[in-house]
Amino acid sequence: MTFEWIQVPYALATLFIILNYGLLMTAVVQKLAARVGGRPGIPVWQNYIDLVKNFALRSKISHGVMYYLGPVFRLSGGIGLILFVPTIYGSAWAQNFSFAGDLILALYFIFFGTLGMALGAGESGHPHSAIGVSRGLAQVTAAELPMALAIYAIAIQYQTLSITEIVAAQQGGLFNWTLFTNPIAVAAAMFAYVGTTMRSPFDVVIAPQEIPIGPPTEYHSAYLALMQTNRVIFPIAKTIIYMNIFFGGATNWAEFAIKVFLLYMIPAVIGVVHPRFRVEQSIRFFLKWGLPVGVLAILTV
Amino acid sequence: MVSPVLIISIGLGTAFALGLLGSTRKTLLFGVTLAALAAMAAISVMWLVALATGATQTAEIHTAGVAPPFAINLRVGIAEAALLATVTLTGFLAALSLRAQLLTLGRGGMAVLLVLVMAISGLVMTRDLFNIFVFIELVAIATAGLVLLSEDTRAVCAGFKFLVVSQIIAILLLVGIIFTYHANGSLNIDDIGATPVAAQGAALAMFLLLIALVIELKPFPANGWALDIYTSAHPGFSAIFSAATGSAALFVVDKVVAPAGAEWLPLLTGIGLLSFVGSNVVALRQDNDRRLLGYSSVGQLGLVLAVIGQRDVLGDAYLYVAGGLVLSHAVAKAGLFWMSAILRGRKLQDWAAIRARAPMVLAFATFIAMLVGLPPFPGFYAKWDLAQALVAAGRLPILGLILLGVLIEAAYLFRWFGFAIKREAPESGLSANMVDCGITFAAVAGGWALGWIWGAIPGQHNVLATLPVLAVVAFIALEPLPAKLKNVLAIAALLGWFALVYGDYDPMRLIFAVVMIPGGAVILLASFSETGRRIGFYPSAMAMYAGLALLLEATTFFEFFAAWEVMTLGSYFLILRGRMSEPHALSYMLFSLGGAFALLAGFALASGGIQPFALDQLGTVTAELAPWVFVLLAIGFMTKTAAMGLHIWLPGAHAEAETDVSPMVSGILLKAGLFGLFVMLMQLGRQSLWGVDLTVVLAWIGAISAFLGAVLSIFQEDAKRLLAYSSISQMGYALFGVALMNHLGWLLAMMFVINHYVYKSMLFLAVGGVYKRTHTKLMYQMGGLITLMPFTFVSVLVGIIAMSGVPPLSGFGGRWIFYNAIMDANLRLPLILIFMAGPIGFLYLFRLIHTIFLGQLKDPHRQLKEAPFWLVLPQMIFAVFLIAFAVLPGMALQKVDGYIGSIFGDQPLVWQGRAITSEFGYWNPVAIMVVIAVVFVAVFLILIAKNHDAQKVKQFNIVFSAERPYRPETTHFAWNFFAPYRKAMGILETPVVTSFWGGVTDGVNGAAEFTRRFYTGNGQTYAAHVLLFVVAVYLIAMGGVA
């Protein structure tokens, strides 16, 4: 597949849908979590309000160039990830720019935004930002490991690294999904999925309940708005990858909406019923439970 | 031609004639002595030249006008002439060195010296056993006499002990001679050879004869009596004692054992090896320079004795090998003793005084390289031929022991050299004068001349005659020039050489060549930031580059090995230049030499003694030997790529090197190991040993290195050490790629060759620039430098994005190829480590950029400037290259991809326009770059539209822990950055490998400490040692049979 100009409006449309879906869905999930705790929770349009408010804020400061660019890196990472992965299987216009690269591109591009934001946050000079980055990076090395193994296992299984081809291979019925053809790899990958969505028990990186910690510490106004935008689309971008390679992909937007929501609910449910791990505990957890499953996945495929 | 017998008559005649001259005219007496020695030397050299050029034949001289055995006959062949020249020249130069003592002592001392030189010459020439006895007695008495010349009070004791033991030897020798005469009826060596001794009684005779002569060599451990001489005698005399007496005694052993028969050879080999290894071990614990040289002399003589013991397998190469070792030993040891006369202090550390005189350092380096057997000196050629012969004869254990001994010898010699270069120099530690310096440099010149001669012998590859090595010599001569000018010349030399050769290379070699030669030139741009003359830098750097250039040119095993050693030597000197790098350079040298010896053994095993053996014939080695060749060569090459287990030299060596040296030794030098692995695998392919596929072992080692290198890297506080450990990890990836043994694995490794050179050079230069400004390498002491050093920041940013593999920069290409490569491979488990190493890489890279450039700026750094222009320039070149290479990987990879395809017979990648497609996936670098750039710019514009008027705030405009911070030190989160990681994975930090190698060195040192206790200094004990030694050897060698 090569580039044609029509792909640009197509891609923008996809982005628009995903953005709105993300804004709504994350609010719904948050509301659900609140209800579990016996609280009424936020209204479902709360994310829109936050976003508009933050964009409109007039007081803003800058700690330097890298600080300024941090959110840009972050959001570019989220948008780019969506654009490098086909969203709807079989749809002519939701293929985005996936011709630029395959699954490996998506896997490595995930780190683009993380790295940029970490650098930006670093320039703020706030130690809590750096502590958050240190914790996050440390945790992700162990959390991503089962995912890497799972990806390798299914790449071997399907003999391709192309996301489209992997989705194609899962068409024709529920039991063609990787979930059923290679459950071990999927189990391994889900360790990583739960581990990297920044929800409890793996959310010590941003420690949202107590002190504001983590990369966003010093960010505010439009910076924060960009990061919030990313905050709603990035998990979806990631979920799309999981959906595509493990859960049969989506052939239309409705299927997309349902699958993404259900997948997103997994860490949300785990999060509301589990207390938080310290970083070294999560590392040990992934090495003790995630890694063996991943190893099993690459050995049995 | 003048008769060589004149050497004896001049010596003896002048010694007597001195007595006729007035004892008060000392200058005249000394002049006559010198003239006599000069005449003796002239005659020897004349004979040597005539025999070497074929102008004359071996001379047989019958004294008393009668044929032997009725009179003594003398012989002067090429070996005798070479030894005579060595002996008489040493005598002449030693007389100059001893001038003050001789002038004080008057004609007595001079006469004794003349008699000594005459007697040693006689030992070389004579063919009569009893005459040998006479000359040995003369040498012993003259030696004792000259020892007493020393001002050292211990010399009296030493001389006495020497005389006591000499008499024991004399008795043994005399009894042996009597028995021999009884059994043989003749004392002429040639007669003994004509009628082989069969009877047991004659065997005892021969044993006594040989053991007496062997003890003359002061073999370990029966040598306490002689070592005190080295410690206490005047160094001018010690030079004769070591170089001339020792060499002549060896020759006598050789003369006698030839007719005695081959059954005596194992005895010599055994004693020689014991002596070589044993005395080198004991030498490890010596801190007195002359005593150390004494042990080293004993060791070297042991080595040659072992070679004499191997004469049955050396064949035609015997003279070449033994001669190369003896002459190297003689010249280097004499030179070192004469140098020690210039130094006031006797401790090894006192040699730091020579640092003030660059030529002295050159001399010291020359002598050490000669002793260790490094190119371009004769010992190197000899070692190679010896290894070939030993392996061809299946005597691998002997080779192993010899190489072990050389390694131990290298350990104390290079440690000593490190002291000289790095330790604090004592005040007025030198008493240099024209004469002593002149003598020393005569030895240096002799060493280099011998190197040339040994290389120029037909059938040899003359290392010194190659253009790159000549360039090194030229740079030695250019040392007085200013550094900037030399830098221009060095860059021109590298580019010129590349222009000469690049057309001849296949695409793979070309990539290595580009990284090593013009790549070296780019790094040399950074050297423009240095001022002054920078003595020592350019010859060392050019030696390393010469080695690399020759490595790519090599077509035979020998050429490859020689290039490898030149490269090692050059890089050692380069690394040693770092302020704190003394122990690290030593460890680098020892690991490199160990690795080189593995290569030597591997090559010898593969060639089976056939020389020259073409590099591309490596694949013809028999299936039985191939796995062993594989193992040996792989160990050798992995020492250079610092694979886990053999890596402990790297962090210190790379981190403590100078700013522009670190990128050279990291970005460039490590690739030599990869090149070797490619060469090896291309020829040998997959090999199995005991059912284990060796390439799988390599892949595991690669994966472990990639993983542990990364883990260790994240725990470093020192920025350069962090980068150094990262190199171990990166080379692990490359090793893994090579070991996959498929097309894409190799392409992956080639990608790492390019990428690692670029980003590691860039990062080392960046960190070096920061170090230049902040004077620290500890990252937690830095922080917030982004605004002060923006260019350096950009280069680190580009470097870490590229290295981490995040799109769109070139590291991603490496990851993409990696995934495609492993799809084809059957290796699953090591992948776990590789997968884990990737994200861990982020940790240390982020730490590097964060703790240096982000966070809080420290007060002492507020006035810092950007790094010097010449450090920034190459970084910017690298940054531009990385971006260009990311977009157009085909410019470097497409050709090499095709070439690798021709090796494996497949073509998994399709290069179509700007896109690359594999069997499994696709990669469109241009599209990636464009999409990311467009999205990035769009988001950036949105932010600018909203936040263009953001207020720029000052450093402490943050609040945390309920207060506004005011001290950067308490606010900058940097030290122990990944504390949680340490809690979880800290167990991987346990220095297992370091402990192992530390245990090995401690063990050897402990053995040395234990053994030296036998050297009590008591003459009676020493005499007992000798007797016990004789008895022990007798029991072992002859099984106690009379």
| pLDDT tens sequence across B434-486 | 899 999 999 999 999 999 999 998 888 888 889 999 999 999 999 999 999 99
User: Whole-angstrom Cα distance, residue B641 to residue B526?
Assistant: 24
Q: What value of ipTM does the predicted structure carry?
A: 0.95
The residues pairing with A101 across neighbouring beta strands, listed in sequence order, are B923
Q: Which of B51-60, B240-249, B820-829 has the lowest mean pLDDT?
A: B820-829
What pLDDT score does B460 carry? 83
Region B785-793: what's the mean pLDDT?
95
Contact B61, B3 (CB under 8 A): yes
* Predicted confidence (pLDDT) at residue B950 exceeds the cutoff of 50: yes
Region B762-767: what's the mean pLDDT?
96
The residues pairing with B689 across neighbouring beta strands, listed in sequence order, are B692
Tokens of A201: 């028990």
Radius of gyration of chain A (CA): 19
Q: How many domains does one find in chain B?
A: 1
Task: Report pLDDT digits (tens) over B866-884.
Answer: 999 999 999 999 999 999 9
CB contact under 8 A, A152 and B831: yes
CB contact under 8 A, B807 and A109: yes
- Whether chain B has a CB inside 8 Å of the CB on A100: the answer is yes
Structural domain contains residue B653? yes
- Best CA proximity match to B736, nearest among B839, B832, B875, B804: B832
* Predicted confidence (pLDDT) at residue B964 exceeds the cutoff of 90: no
User: Whole-angstrom Cα distance, residue B963 to residue B688?
Assistant: 66
What pLDDT score does A208 carry? 58
User: Whole-angstrom Cα distance, residue B247 to residue B232?
Assistant: 21
Q: How would you class B891 by CB atoms within 10 Å of its CB: exposed for 0-12, middle for 13-18, buried for 19 or more? A: exposed
> Which among A145, A156, A218 has the least Cβ separation from residue B836?
A145
Structural domain contains residue B888? yes
User: Whole-angstrom Cα distance, residue B247 to residue B87?
Assistant: 8
User: Whole-angstrom Cα distance, residue A80 to residue A136?
Assistant: 21
Domain enclosing residue B779, as ranges:
466-908
What pLDDT score does A185 carry? 95
Helix (H) or strand (E) holding B952: strand B951-952
Strands A61-62 and B951-952: parallel
User: Which residue, among A69, A114, A119, would best test binding to B if mutated, counting the most B CBs under 10 Å from its CB?
Assistant: A119
The residue of chain A with its CA nearest to that of B842 is A137
Structural domain contains residue B679? yes
User: Whole-angstrom Cα distance, residue B133 to residue B733?
Assistant: 65
| DSSP SS3 for B1038 | helix
> Which among A61, A64, A140 has the least Cβ separation from residue B951?
A61
How many angstroms away from the CA of A29 is the closest CA of chain B?
27
Mean per-residue pLDDT of chain B: 90
User: Whole-angstrom Cα distance, residue B408 to residue A108?
Assistant: 48
What pLDDT score does B220 carry? 85
What pLDDT score does B196 carry? 61
* Predicted confidence (pLDDT) at residue B1042 exceeds the cutoff of 50: no
DSSP A301: -
* Predicted confidence (pLDDT) at residue B199 exceeds the cutoff of 90: no
**Number of other CB atoms surrounding residue B179 within 10 Å:** 20
| DSSP SS3 for B693 | strand
What pLDDT score does B289 carry? 92
* Predicted confidence (pLDDT) at residue B262 exceeds the cutoff of 90: no
- Best CA proximity match to B274, nearest among B1039, B1041, B1029: B1029
Please report the residues numbered 971 through 1000 in chain B whose beta carbons come closer than 8 angstroms to any beta carbon of chain A: 971-974, 977-981, 983-985
pLDDT confidence of B201, banded at 50, 70, 90? Answer: low
- Whether chain A has a CB inside 8 Å of the CB on B844: the answer is no
Task: Report pLDDT digits (tens) over B356-386.
Answer: 889 999 999 999 999 999 989 999 999 999 9
Phi, psi torsion values for B291, nearest 5 degrees = -65, -40
User: Whole-angstrom Cα distance, residue A279 to residue B311?
Assistant: 67
Task: Report pLDDT digits (tens) over B689-713.
Answer: 898 889 999 999 999 999 999 999 9
User: Does a cis peptide bond (omega within 30 degrees of 0) precede residue B612?
Assistant: yes
3 state SS for B868-919: CHHHHHHHHHHHHHHHHHHHCCHHHHHHHHHHHHHHHCCCCCEEECCEEECC
CB contact under 8 A, B928 and A100: yes
Neighboring chain B residues of A159 at a CB cutoff of 8 Å: 823, 919-920
DSSP B856: P
- Best CA proximity match to A112, nearest among A139, A148, A83, A88: A83
> Which among A76, A83, A125 has the least Cβ separation from residue B855?
A125
Mean per-residue pLDDT of chain A: 90
A:B CB pairs within 8 Å: 244
CA B539 to chain centre: 16
Tokens of B890: 């085909």
Neighboring chain A residues of B820 at a CB cutoff of 8 Å: 161
CA A151 to chain centre: 16
The residues pairing with A62 across neighbouring beta strands, listed in sequence order, are B952
Sign of CA dihedral B128, B131, B135, B136: positive
- Whether chain B has a CB inside 8 Å of the CB on A160: the answer is yes
Task: Report pLDDT digits (tens) over B833-847.
Answer: 998 898 899 899 999
User: Whole-angstrom Cα distance, residue A184 to residue B160?
Assistant: 84
Neighboring chain A residues of B924 at a CB cutoff of 8 Å: 99-101
Delimit the domains of chain A by residue range: 7-300
Neighboring chain A residues of B856 at a CB cutoff of 8 Å: 125
User: Whole-angstrom Cα distance, residue B825 to residue A156?
Assistant: 10
* Predicted confidence (pLDDT) at residue B989 exceeds the cutoff of 50: yes
Region B583-594: what's the mean pLDDT?
94
Region B222-242: what's the mean pLDDT?
87
- Best CA proximity match to B756, nearest among B687, B824, B804, B806: B804
- Whether chain A has a CB inside 8 Å of the CB on B179: the answer is no
Identity of the residue numbered B445: A
Region B526-555: what's the mean pLDDT?
94
What pLDDT score does B223 carry? 85
CB contact under 8 A, B784 and A62: no
CB contact under 8 A, B947 and A72: no
**Number of other CB atoms surrounding residue A136 within 10 Å:** 24
User: Which residue, among A57, A111, A141, would best test binding to B if mutated, counting the most B CBs under 10 Å from its CB?
Assistant: A141
Task: Report pLDDT digits (tens) over B908-936.
Answer: 888 888 889 998 999 999 999 999 999 99
DSSP B620-640: GS-TTTHHHHHHHHHHHHHHH
% of chain A with per-residue pLDDT over 90: 63
What are the residue ranges in chain A where pLDDT is below 50? none
- Whether chain A has a CB inside 8 Å of the CB on B813: the answer is no
Structural domain contains residue B837? yes
% of chain B with per-residue pLDDT over 90: 63
* Predicted confidence (pLDDT) at residue B1041 exceeds the cutoff of 70: no
